Amino acid sequence: MNLKAHAYGSIAFIERNFALIKRYLGWELVFLTYNVVNALAIGLIGARMGKEMVLYLIVGAMVWGFLSILFHEISESIAWERWEGTIEYTFMAPINRVTHLLGNCLHAVTYGVIRSSLILIIVVFFFGISIKGANLTALFIILVVSGLSFVGLGLMAAVLPLLSTEKGAYATHIFEAVLLLISGVYYEIEVLPIWIRPLSYISPATYTLRAMRAALLDGAGLGELLPTILLLLGVGMVLIPLGMIVFGKAEFYAKKKGKLKRSG
Amino acid sequence: MKEPIKCVGLKKTFVKKDKVVALNNVSFTIEKNEVFGIVGPNGSGKSTLIRILSTLLIPDEGSASVFGHDVVREYSKVRPLINRVSVDAAFFKGISAWENLRYAARLYGLGGKEAKQRTLDILSQLGFSEKRFYEPLEDLSRGMQQKVAIARAFFTSPMLLLLDEPTTGLDPRSKMEVQNFIRKSMSSNGLTILLTTHDMNEAEVLCHRVAIIIKGRFVTVGKPNELLEKYKKPNLEQVFLEVTGKDWKEIEYES
Ligand SMILES: Nc1ncnc2c1ncn2[C@@H]1O[C@H](COP(=O)(O)OP(=O)(O)OP(=O)(O)O)[C@@H](O)[C@H]1O
Ligand SMILES: [Mg+2]
């Protein structure tokens, strides 16, 4: 199967997901408002400590928002189909599972980048902070590249709703909560108890946050950030295929046990 | 070209609280252009069989092939050749029929324009007005949703259609429209159909051969008139009542 066929097939999922967003636009506004207010509230915690602290916290809110969106979009794309019962139709269609999942991931990343950028713009405007010294290109590149590793994790999380609609959602939330704790979203990981820290080092979010703060606060150049970018890229290259394999195994198991059916 | 459907010794057991034997040694073959009906009480294994043929369920024992391709090992060769209608019209209910079908079309590599034209053509034959095509599906009645599901199955031009109770829950007129549409497609496209139904009259008029399934086993198979003769009954409904009234634990096969 060539790249062009993948790309063409992926459109199905992107188009469908945006049709669903359009249909439930009210909820979009609610979530966006919630995300913005949340980022503002967190930024305000640092207001007395100066601009640096505000930006530091806002990067946390932004990356956290991005990661949550990717996770939810990917596992939701499976959970929703199970709920509606369309999953059987999607699964029996002559489309490669890789194309199917890539389509959903591509949608999630596009959507996540748009939402996160919107939040950054609104928040910077609200605080009246100048980000002239920031390296926005680097910020954007890191966001997209980190998306690859988050997508890989998201694919593994999507296995859970495939096997059980309800319990799947529990597990996805717990997994996310652990990432929030270990990755230094609003603090340096050095404040964590020593026994948790090894987990911090294996979370791709830790490196994303560090690099984004360097780009936004210190205007770090692409050259300087290259090692992190390559690292995130590498992790994504490992996690995405791994996620696909795990998903494939889960699909086989579901077909063996009759788990794809919504009722019964 | 190989047989549209060939099943040999299919078995499927589900384990929830208890073990449920859904299919118990099912073997049959369908010829090209044939409409093969399966009737049986609730829970007798009809949908399970259709799911196996749709590459959605893996049998425990035995094998099933579609046009010579094994449904487990060669599922990617089977999928482009088939499509399916299930009892519940499974759709993204919040978006329109068109948005749902455009999604389905892309999965089958069909262009937007072509897909739209084919669908509207099918839907008009089913007595579905184009106006409703762009409304959210949740605003359509069950019968209308079922018609959209039928369009979704037919517009990809499959070689084999798996119709799982396509007319259950439709009013008499809609039912007739759907049956007429199936009959018309049979004669024009050289299509093969596997159909399950609870409507014995439908089985009698639409199907070339009918199998009665009980507790996961085909207990009798034949042309409708052969079955009437064999059981000396005036219609299939009487045959069904006769056959399903027996205690099939006691009786082995009736060939
Ligand atoms: N995915 C599943 N998990 C567990 N049990 C299942 C599953 N699918 C079917 N069964 C069980 O297998 C048996 C056969 O079910 P099936 O849906 O094939 O029957 P059916 O003939 O289609 O019935 P109906 O006429 O009501 O549609 C039933 O006892 C059912 O509860
Ligand atoms: Mg059924």
pLDDT for B255: 40
- CA separation, residue A4 to residues A7, A11, B76 (Å): 5, 11, 18
Q: Do A20 and B152 touch (CB under 8 A)?
A: no
pLDDT for A173: 86
Q: B209: left (phi > 0), else alpha (psi -120 to 50), else beta?
A: beta
Which two tokens mark A201?
Answer: 């080092």
pLDDT for B112: 82
pLDDT for B38: 97
State which amino acid sits at residue A232: L
pLDDT for B251: 45
Cα distance between residue A103 and residue A14, in whole Å: 6
**Is A15 near chain B, with CB under 8 Å?**
yes
Residues with CB under 6 A from ligand 1: A 258, 261, 264; B 14, 16, 20, 22, 40, 42-48
On chain A, the residues whose CB falls within 8 A of the CB of B14 are: 257-258
Residues in B 105-144 with any Cβ partner in A closer than 8 A: 106-109, 136
**Per-residue pLDDT tens over the stretch B149-196:** 999 999 999 999 999 999 998 999 999 999 999 999 887 767 999 999
Cα distance between residue B87 and residue B44, in whole Å: 15
**Per-residue pLDDT tens over the stretch A9-66:** 888 898 898 888 888 999 989 999 999 999 999 999 998 898 889 999 999 999 999 9
| ipTM of the predicted assembly exceeds 0.85 | yes
3-class DSSP assignment, residue A19: helix
pTM listed for this prediction: 0.91
- Contact assessment for residue A23 and residue B94, using Cβ atoms and an 8 Å cutoff: yes
Task: Convert A97-134 to b/e letters by CB count within 10 Å (16 or more is b).
Answer: ebbbbbbbbbbbbbbbbebbbebbebbbeebebeeeeb
**Is A8 near chain B, with CB under 8 Å?**
yes
Which two tokens mark B253?
Answer: 């096969």
**Per-residue pLDDT tens over the stretch A106-159:** 999 999 999 999 998 998 899 888 888 888 899 999 999 999 999 998 898 888
Q: Which residue in the set B15, B94, B104 is minimally distant from A24, CB to CB?
A: B94
Per-residue pLDDT of chain B (255 residues; tens, 9 = 90+): 799 999 999 999 999 888 999 999 999 999 999 999 999 999 999 999 999 999 999 999 999 999 999 999 999 999 999 999 998 889 999 999 999 999 999 999 888 888 999 999 999 999 898 889 999 999 999 899 999 999 999 999 999 999 999 999 899 999 999 999 999 988 776 799 999 999 999 999 999 999 999 999 999 999 999 999 999 999 888 898 888 887 655 444 444
CA torsion sign for B168, B27, B10, B162 is negative
**Backbone Cα Rg of chain B:** 18
Indicate if the pLDDT at residue A232 is higher than 50. Answer: yes
Which two tokens mark A79?
Answer: 């959970």
State which amino acid sits at residue A89: Y
**Per-residue pLDDT tens over the stretch A182-223:** 999 999 999 999 999 999 999 999 999 999 999 999 888 999
**Per-residue pLDDT tens over the stretch A26-40:** 998 999 999 999 999
Percentage above 90 pLDDT, chain A: 58
